[in-house]
Structure 1
């Protein structure tokens, strides 16, 4: 985040921008500096309602001053904008969207709220109530006319219907009229233009008929049409809210602030945006961690289910890293802030989930192109329908109503919603499994894989070796070896240090020799831990070769070698077996030595195993697979895997991976269990099926509905019901819960469903 000091804010608060009306202090509080050094902000654009709107908004911003990139989000009705730098004013982008008929407002990046969505839902509900009242009463009056009322009685019923219908249409039609008007002012057409045209034409014709004491009026059709359209739009609003719940629920996990410990020992409450790196915060039991940091004092138990998917309390003390959003359960702690709120784990997860439906995969591009053709095609179709029926029958009243039905029934909403709602729902399912998705196009690619390539260290294995044998026979010697090991950061030393039992042994004259090991003096005798040939210089006999593990010796004593082995990640063997059973070719591609790789391969049967691979070798291997027509999933974690992760068809990295590895991967799983790989593939394949089903529903609807409407078999009322129903069916299909066969258990799942 970019912030101003108090004096700057007070000065800038008085400096309103002409036209934009955005105060600089407010603007800077909502523009974030990204890792690329550019500015990032988010705009709320309630007018985004279909796939055509996405293209119109992005095209409008493509050449806007200061805007580097823009990506519209249909489910959230927001636009994520990348600015030239954090100081760039977003006001020109807001003005450009307003001129195109898409009023926009700047919103807070740190807290994706849904207050605006709630206001829109309440407004739709009020309109729906008014339309329901009007529809009920107008239909009762219409029944009297249909029952045979004639002459003056019929005229009175028509006049009373007009008195009810006109104000109802004026109020309940506002969501459609306002949207259509802003679109026309911006020189474009949207789905609400034909809807508004149909309702206003029906109402206008009815008023003329009432004034001329004609036999037929259509107030009931206009009001009931609005009622059913509003039912569909309100349900669509509710389903969109459910689909984006994975994003908005994160806001409830974010703390609003925390108590900061001052240098003089006193505490002061700070809002979340005022918390800076290196500050020390006090976190009481029951509070959530506000930002990323580490414990510097106190001990507690943590609920880290947000990160790992595991709800079992985890003990934590000084030095333990904390992620924003996890819950402090039992003890008061002091934590040092590592990153501001905008760069926290929780903010990163929110950004990943919001990006879930913004990817431009093959399915999204198809839906965008189809929705873009909607406006000109549907108006041309309605015009041709009207002309054709007038020529065929010579009557313009019935012809006009058939054209109105064609206007209403031909809607691209179902097609526009086919992909993004599936992607955002899948992102929520992945998140509940401890997997974060960066892009919807990655989900499409994951569903098509036929080959999986695993790195070894840190991926198939935990990357932390453990002692499985060897070492000093006496407890005293083991304590000295552990005391030496605690002074080193080498992974092998950490494994030996874990063997310490009891108080630490005092070691004098401690020094580490790079490439050899660590040495110290214990009770007047030199002690060494490290490379066997170096340790052997002070030993008298014993093991000197034959083992690649670290050796230990006290001066004049025997040389003892530790046997180390890597620990397989939980569920690794089961995940590989499941992938092979599904017809995947599974490979182990590692830069480690032959012995270490073969030791893992003996425990897990891979189709192909390769050791000693450099980063260039890994990229070359993935390109070779691609040349063979393979679509490979690369799973790796290290800095040396980053290029391979980026080169693969699709990629995954564990949460413990290097920063470069996490940035390059399409998916990041925070669970310890390797079952995240199979869970992600299952969810991706299910999402692909749902997208195809949604396309089928949308295409079938239009293939059936349009000919019926043009042929005159559909009234405006039936058209409204059909149009709303198609969108609701598509959204409901996208968010329906996963069903398993009776008796089937979730495979390798450690996170709650």
Structure 2
């Protein structure tokens, strides 16, 4: 039998023992499942160039290499870096990673602390809302594989951010929590029935034999709850202690474990009472709180991928000999001539060389009206050619074009850590240390006072259990969860529960004009008709055009004229940046702007400060339409109410200054900033931050994405672009201004309830912990008290209502 090389490691074996498969007519051979898996992994991640670099060299079989940890080497491959790693202007490397295993703010703190202490790492920022980390490092001092290994060594896993795998991993995480909660809830519900019998026997007397049976039943239920459902806390506690961090996991694991061990001791020796019910309640309640946090995190694809997904992946490049070829955007070079057809997006920034056309720049500037471009004019990536075939010369590569720059800015904004998260890290650390310290001192004091190890241990466990942060941990998520439910009934979607609190503290609202204050589409303001006007003929004419003005005329005709006949047109012609012409039963129809009428020799003396559309039949004007982007009904009243609530309202828009100021005057906004590019909107937001404002931004397009991500709370109108909706924290599903006001009111109601819950939780701990320290509370009462405090928080949270 002939010997053949392994497709991956290149070692030769008899073909009879090889794993074979077909790929595009080519036969592949693998010496083991490991080599087969690594080959397909490299291929899926676009790293096939590894084999070109390898040449005829041989590797160890993958199964052997993986056991030695050499899979980390793939993070340093050139193909891997080309796909995931970006070089900063300073010469450093930058990557976005997903840190797997993060389930609390202390986890974020631990990872950032360890990474910051690692030589060669310049920056490490982790966003708790999506576990996404931005890491910048000096390639001369440290390799990416070493960074990944460092993260693994502290108990977490890291892998490059890949949107194709994100949803799958998110579902896996949710399902893992769900299965652990199911075990905990099942055990808790059943163990409480047994505990009722235990309580009755405690007061009325029970034979030891019956008591033993109940104790064993509780032990059977508590054990999987502690070690399966509670494994998350044990893992977090272990890695926290390993890295000299006392976190909330240490508190939960310690209290539950001590209660479990003492209960086993009491069950075997028949001395004292068992507290297996306390074990299940501790684990289940805290785990539910963790699960609520998981559910509140942002779902599905990252905003960056929505933007990238909206960009063209290929462009039609015209070669020197006149031939055309579809070329990947990444391979477009400066100087390439690119052909663009109506409806296509501009792939990279460039200069128009031939043809004239209208371009829709609303995705970048927010300008509602198309912009006419002719040879020599600059065109920007992400804009759309509307009505003509043109050719333009690329002046930038894909990575340097405007839309790519917006993507990078958005990436930085998304990974910035909110101030409230930093505070939570500090508070959780101090709280855990304080409770454990009090418990240790309590144990020592009681042991010295009573001389009984059992008594001292029970009192110490009571301190840990009664202070177990169920009420404190649920104070915010329960209130915000109810607030989110109330908001949903009003057509308001909060993606992040914690954002309700931030919104309640907001004192400045920044509004985009087009699509937010206004409807975002040209609508007919007035119409003047003459004898030759036939709405059916005009409808057929404008229906043939995709221009926004034509769409506005079409909507008007359908709304104001019924049962219009279907008209067939001939010799339909679209005239660049002017309008359309056609023939209908021998009549010459023309519809468009003033320039079109002038080119046809038709006198048009009508003046208007708004968009003008003129319709002519056989050289005579048949109708004149004035169009404008209308202000949303109710927006003025909403702004008035917001001002009464102490919120300063400003307008940030890419539209020209005259139009912006006129709209602002109509709706009651004093501060206006016009003709802003996306980066400039973000700079304005940052300026407000520096002045000490908590900023809410409302917008609806790609042009608002960077500013939305830079704000403390981002609100998207429901009819807005997918990108704006994905980057936002709040989406107004019903797309009406009243929802904006309702979002503020619900935020303030919820924050008020959060403060009440936190106040009660702190008061509860201030009272309950000293009582436990003094020995007035046993672990059973401690667990019940903890449960009642949680129920109080839940009950108080359900009182949240939208006050008009």
- Normalised by the length of structure 1, the TM-score is 0.63
Query: Please, which of 710, 717, 722 is the counterpart of residue 785 of structure 2?
Result: 722
Query: Please, which of 573, 577, 593 is the counterpart of residue 531 of structure 1?
Result: 593
Give matches, 1:139-288, under 5 Å: 142-143=202-203, 161=211, 165=215, 168-169=218-219, 171-176=221-226, 179=231, 182=235, 186=239, 187=241, 190-199=250-259, 202-203=262-263, 206=266, 217-218=271-272, 220=273, 223=274, 225-231=275-281, 233-234=283-284
Query: Please, which of 755, 766, 769 is the counterpart of residue 703 of structure 1?
Result: 766
Q: Distance in 1 between matches of 2:158 and 2:199?
A: 39
Q: Distance in 2 between matches of 1:559 and 1:35?
A: 61
Query: Please, which of 84, 95, 109 is the counterpart of residue 167 of structure 2?
Result: 109
Deviation at 1:704, TM superposition (A): 0.9
Q: Give the aligned partner of residue 18 of structure 2.
A: none
Q: Give the aligned partner of residue 652 of structure 1.
A: 715
Query: Please, which of 753, 756, 762 is the counterpart of residue 690 of structure 1?
Result: 753
Residues 79 and 61 of structure 1, relative CA distance in 2, 3 Å threshold: farther
Deviation at 1:495, TM superposition (A): 1.9
Q: Give the aligned partner of residue 446 of structure 1.
A: 503
SS of the equivalent of 1:713 reads coil
In the alignment, is the contact (CA less than 8 A) between 1:471 and 1:551 conserved in 2?
Answer: no
Does residue 124 of structure 1 match 2:174? no
Q: Distance in 2 between matches of 1:34 and 1:680?
A: 38
Residues 397 and 483 of structure 1, relative CA distance in 2, 3 Å threshold: closer
Residues 79 and 592 of structure 1, relative CA distance in 2, 3 Å threshold: closer
Query: Please, which of 668, 676, 681 is the counterpart of residue 739 of structure 2?
Result: 676
Deviations 1:549-575 (Å, cap 9, x if unpaired)? 123334542475322233333543443
Query: Please, which of 450, 460, 463 is the counterpart of residue 517 of structure 2?
Result: 460
Q: Distance in 1 between matches of 2:151 and 2:491?
A: 37
Give matches, 1:279-318, under 5 Å: none
Give matches, 1:503-652, under 5 Å: 503-508=566-571, 510-514=573-577, 516-520=578-582, 527-532=589-594, 534-536=596-598, 538-539=600-601, 543-546=605-608, 548=610, 549-558=612-621, 560-592=623-655, 596-597=659-660, 600=663, 604-608=666-670, 610=672, 612-615=674-677, 630-652=693-715
Q: Give the aligned partner of residue 441 of structure 2.
A: 384
Q: Distance in 1 between matches of 2:691 and 2:155?
A: 49
Q: Distance in 1 between matches of 2:684 and 2:159?
A: 48
Give matches, 1:304-343, under 5 Å: none
Q: Distance in 2 between matches of 1:35 and 1:92?
A: 15
Q: Tell me whether 230-239 or 565-574 shows the greater mean CA deviation.
A: 230-239
Q: Distance in 1 between matches of 2:700 and 2:298?
A: 29
Q: Distance in 1 between matches of 2:500 and 2:567?
A: 51
Deviation at 1:721, TM superposition (A): 1.8
In the alignment, is the contact (CA less than 8 A) between 2:664 and 2:670 conserved in 1?
Answer: no
Deviation at 1:700, TM superposition (A): 1.4
SS of the equivalent of 2:427 reads helix
Q: Give the aligned partner of residue 551 of structure 2.
A: 494
Deviations 1:360-384 (Å, cap 9, x if unpaired)? 5444433332222344433332222
Q: Give the aligned partner of residue 150 of structure 1.
A: none
Q: Distance in 2 between matches of 1:209 and 1:385?
A: 24
Q: Distance in 2 between matches of 1:663 and 1:182?
A: 33
Residues 589 and 108 of structure 1, relative CA distance in 2, 3 Å threshold: closer
Deviation at 1:460, TM superposition (A): 1.6
Deviations 1:113-154 (Å, cap 9, x if unpaired)? 75444432442245336644664565566557x79xxxxxxx
In the alignment, is the contact (CA less than 8 A) between 2:652 and 2:676 conserved in 1?
Answer: no
Q: Distance in 1 between matches of 2:680 and 2:416?
A: 30
In the alignment, is the contact (CA less than 8 A) between 2:572 and 2:582 conserved in 1?
Answer: yes
In the alignment, is the contact (CA less than 8 A) between 2:509 and 2:696 conserved in 1?
Answer: yes
Residues 388 and 436 of structure 1, relative CA distance in 2, 3 Å threshold: same
Deviation at 1:512, TM superposition (A): 0.9
Q: Give the aligned partner of residue 429 of structure 2.
A: 372
In the alignment, is the contact (CA less than 8 A) between 2:97 and 2:159 conserved in 1?
Answer: no
Q: Distance in 2 between matches of 1:165 and 1:456?
A: 68
Deviations 1:285-307 (Å, cap 9, x if unpaired)? xxxxxxxxxxxxxxxxxxxxxxx
Structure 1: 5+ residue stretches without partners: 23-32, 85-89, 148-156, 211-216, 252-355, 745-753
Deviation at 1:702, TM superposition (A): 1.6
Deviations 1:618-656 (Å, cap 9, x if unpaired)? 567656655665544332334544454455554323244
SS of the equivalent of 1:586 reads strand
In the alignment, is the contact (CA less than 8 A) between 2:569 and 2:582 conserved in 1?
Answer: no
Residues 475 and 5 of structure 1, relative CA distance in 2, 3 Å threshold: farther
Q: Distance in 2 between matches of 1:667 and 1:205?
A: 52
Q: Distance in 1 between matches of 2:85 and 2:592?
A: 40
Q: Distance in 2 between matches of 1:494 and 1:728?
A: 56
In the alignment, is the contact (CA less than 8 A) between 1:124 and 1:230 conserved in 2?
Answer: yes
Residues 366 and 453 of structure 1, relative CA distance in 2, 3 Å threshold: closer
Q: Give the aligned partner of residue 377 of structure 2.
A: none
Residues 247 and 475 of structure 1, relative CA distance in 2, 3 Å threshold: farther
Deviations 1:362-409 (Å, cap 9, x if unpaired)? 444333322223444333322222332344455555444333322332
Residues 58 and 441 of structure 1, relative CA distance in 2, 3 Å threshold: farther
Residues 39 and 637 of structure 1, relative CA distance in 2, 3 Å threshold: same
Q: Distance in 1 between matches of 2:264 and 2:580?
A: 92
Q: Distance in 2 between matches of 1:525 and 1:250?
A: 54
In the alignment, is the contact (CA less than 8 A) between 1:535 and 1:559 conserved in 2?
Answer: no
SS of the equivalent of 2:775 reads coil
- Normalised by the length of structure 2, the TM-score is 0.59
In the alignment, is the contact (CA less than 8 A) between 1:413 and 1:727 conserved in 2?
Answer: yes
SS of the equivalent of 1:109 reads helix
Q: Distance in 1 between matches of 2:772 and 2:298?
A: 40
Q: Give the aligned partner of residue 527 of structure 2.
A: 470
Deviations 1:421-447 (Å, cap 9, x if unpaired)? 555555555555544445556544322
SS of the equivalent of 1:402 reads helix
SS of the equivalent of 2:782 reads helix
Residues 123 and 557 of structure 1, relative CA distance in 2, 3 Å threshold: closer
Q: Distance in 2 between matches of 1:692 and 1:363?
A: 14
Residues 366 and 665 of structure 1, relative CA distance in 2, 3 Å threshold: same
Deviation at 1:711, TM superposition (A): 1.8
In the alignment, is the contact (CA less than 8 A) between 1:41 and 1:81 conserved in 2?
Answer: yes
Deviation at 1:38, TM superposition (A): 7.3
